[in-house]
Structure 1
């Protein structure tokens, strides 16, 4: 509480003498600007009662009262109202009495009848100021004491010799010092000796004024009950007004837990640095923030190369995305993952690892880091793989043995059953192998078996299985085959490989094999029965002359034989002069004249007779013979067209091209070469592709067709509507002509839907500036319908069947349209 100095002052005058009281009141009331409100009491008792009922800023106390003499009245007043400032009034000029009064709490004294009016007012003002100052000091002391006693930090006061003057309760508790009047020990008696030099050095500099304060960490000596072993101390100095040191204040924070944690972290860091296991720590975004030396030793990556990178820089490529998705899902749901993984060192070497990954969360439960710990198990894995390989592979050839073959066949049948696929088992037995062993020796026999294993492995796909059951018996598993013909092809390739002599003892040795084929699910549905079926078929092949293959089903063997014979005949057909080109005229519906010819391939088979393309082109596509056949018909047709154009310059030739040819990278160059050879302008050639070809690989098809048009050739979409009628195809393909499929034309006579479809196709094509040709026109009614709908051209038996070149020439000068 601060008393007012410039507002009206409430003053209690305790004076029994009337004259003195009036005089004092008069003096005070003369100071109107300052303002005093004076209340008089004639006795000490009355004054004390007034103090109980009202608040006064100051008391003027006469020391000579009816109920109190001398300093007793002052003592009574101070005892009951110690905070009210008092100025004593005395009738005696007694300095000793005045000094005693002030020692007992009076702020000032005055001798009645002496001094001026101003002196009285100044005395009152001084008394109030001094009282306020004392009150502020007491309040500051109380505040400091409250802070000192109740602070959460330890506080102690030191003299200039670093002796403890006082400790607050918190520090007493932390240091387990006995409470009470026992003097505390010197500060340094509580502190480890290793801290003494630094503390004393800084304390001296503080006392000398060379620093305002200092901070340091102190390690306290162990003692029973002492909970603080480490403290963070901050020391400052309090000086007297003359600048001399009075005492030092040291504030101490208990950092024992922090230092313990730091020690644990230091030990953990040493463990991390010293462990033989690689350690990676990432942030929550999986960016590497720390690696240990073992990481560098195991991976070859220096810390600066790894920090900031994603751990995927170690990815080996041996695991698919599903593996990593499962790994991170486990970490997300379960907090961690453990297992074997393959990674790749910086030098490219693969390493097998046992990996533990843990997600780390902060105190709020939020993900903060990932920690990965891994060890190199490559050598162990290699040892395991070597043992497993020895247990499941033939030591001579390195092929799977009977145990592994049976296991794979069991899995293959399960997959085929689940996915409704076909598979084949081929059983091979070398013909007359015993004679080779007997004549050339067992070493030569072993060499032959190794060479057979190599040739068989080269012949099949990587996903197929080649195994050696023992002796001269080999087996193959062919998964996901289309039908029996795929198995027959592989068997035929194997026979062709065996037709090449085997070098043994420096000499070529002719060796053949007999092959039996069992099919799942046609012949058997279990590993044992399927292998038995193939085995029986192999013996059938041996009985029928060796160096051949047989199916477990006799009917399939016959079909395979016929298929193989047809394939071999087709391969020789061009050289044997059996291939012919027929031409069917394309009619302009505006005048009925021939505007072009479609070149059609025919095979004059010596036994079957004349074969249409549908009878052999699928086989040609399947075997890859479509390329040489396509080149041959194009060469023939271009030459014939160039000859006819000498007399009929407007004639053009149409040739159907397969998907295999169209997407062949060398196709465009072959077309250019043949055009140049025969002097045929590109505009005289129309390349036809079927609707199915266009749909199989639409983007690649568009690119190929655009290249042909850029060269100057015309492009036609053949058999439009065969698979499904999608008019959007006309927008997406760069074509000049659309040819309506025969099925739609044949149905014109009896289907209104077909008529509407044909009308729509013609109308849309014309809108797109695409010419329209109708195929398989066979009746006058069809002709009339097409002509009335402004179809550009037609082709079919109504005009002419496909005929050889010699029969086609006379048609060029005739009007073939019906009249």
Structure 2
């Protein structure tokens, strides 16, 4: 038995004499602390000691426990009292009473004094609706016409900021209250999501209001039900943030540009300011990913974004478009001047070293700027123009800033037209192989030919590679072009063999062709379809394709050599000139770049070193760009095996090449 606490014995005697049930409930310990005889009969207890032994928490619902704690807080804060209908469950049987509650302090602790005024009888539906109103998590409040609260269910009482809060005071923004009032006035009911004051602070509630009458006074009233949707609002806000922001840097993304930047730019133009967009691309960012990994690449992007945002002024915003591309928006009276100054600062800031993977890494940036001065804002066009200017900055050597000019767009349109023309030419078979003789230095005999692409344009005549190769590389058409030239060269080798001419044919492979996984299968198909002798076909690659992809490079070279095809390194000496790969990879010959042949009179050492090295490694050496007898004699004295150049002949069509052999 719990130890009773003595309190005001005289008052206790009077209470025991009352015919009305009266008891004191210990809210903290969830038991009846004291009860008069009438209350013992209500609770179905034979004695106070027996009633005190009952642990009321065993069958007490969560909502009732919360409501009792709420009462205790109200007793402490406001000396509140309540008269409510309660359903008790003595010995498991329901008993409906109208009970008055007030707080009473016993030895410093707040308990609840309960006075049952009378028994109530009601139909089952009424009892159940009253219970549902008490247990529901929906906040229910009845207000009179003046906005004073007439009734709050337990959930509403638990959330209200203070007991005396009026209807209008409930709202953070007065416009929400006004909108609900107007809705009720117009149709008798209204609904709205609004921010409200609660005991937990500002929350989002979905509020439904309906005009009604107070059942006690008969006066006009408002019945308000509320559901807390704060978590949903936060989720919506998070989803909206995710849709409009880049998760790596936190900057707006392409969607954010349209939703946030566009209204801002439009307002700037209305205010009489100019606006500009700056397209920023990190130079050689792929090298960081390839050498240090994507985690370091992400760290670099985060660092660059932080440096970028620190430079921006009040009317300037930044976004990440994806990859290593950023966009800056600015508004100023003279946008071009501000963009130029800001751009120079960005180039300097982004170029500072950053620590990644234990190394100090430096990257540069290329910036393109588009300025809108005429007041006609087209953000998509401005982004396109800034992009064009950025690529112009890259073409100018990187780590540079360029402004868009109409000439850039004209050049782009011309490139698009050229790409379309090239595509048509490939479909119509307009690209043909020309052949430049490869001559034996010792005998002067033609021993082979290098196949070079020419475009037999229907309007412009025969065009050399410098007029179309770069566009083919940029557009991916180089794969189709390379396949056509290789097939023509292989077929020509077969024709020469049928004529009794034993000539080696060499064909250039672009880096794009070499990294194509389908390259070995494509070469095998060309050999089978043309009847070309594999050992008389040589594929020329540049030094750059031999670096950075050891495993894949070796697999590709071995697959080609396995078919009997020979491999040559073209333009040797102009790239990284790593001597290790000359031994590592299955190569057959090196071609000395024409620049070293042209400089034989002033700096012959490099060409001489290459020839000596090839002799030691048992590689054939071919000199390109030989134009004078003096150059040829120099090569003969050093033991160079073959040469190409205008001293013998430029590249010729197959028919003209055949005449050269006669």
TM-score band, normalised by shorter chain:
0.3 to 0.5
The TM-score with structure 1 as length reference comes to: 0.36
Structure number with larger C-alpha Rg: 1
> Relative CO higher for 1 or 2, CA cutoff 8 Å, sep ≥ 6?
2
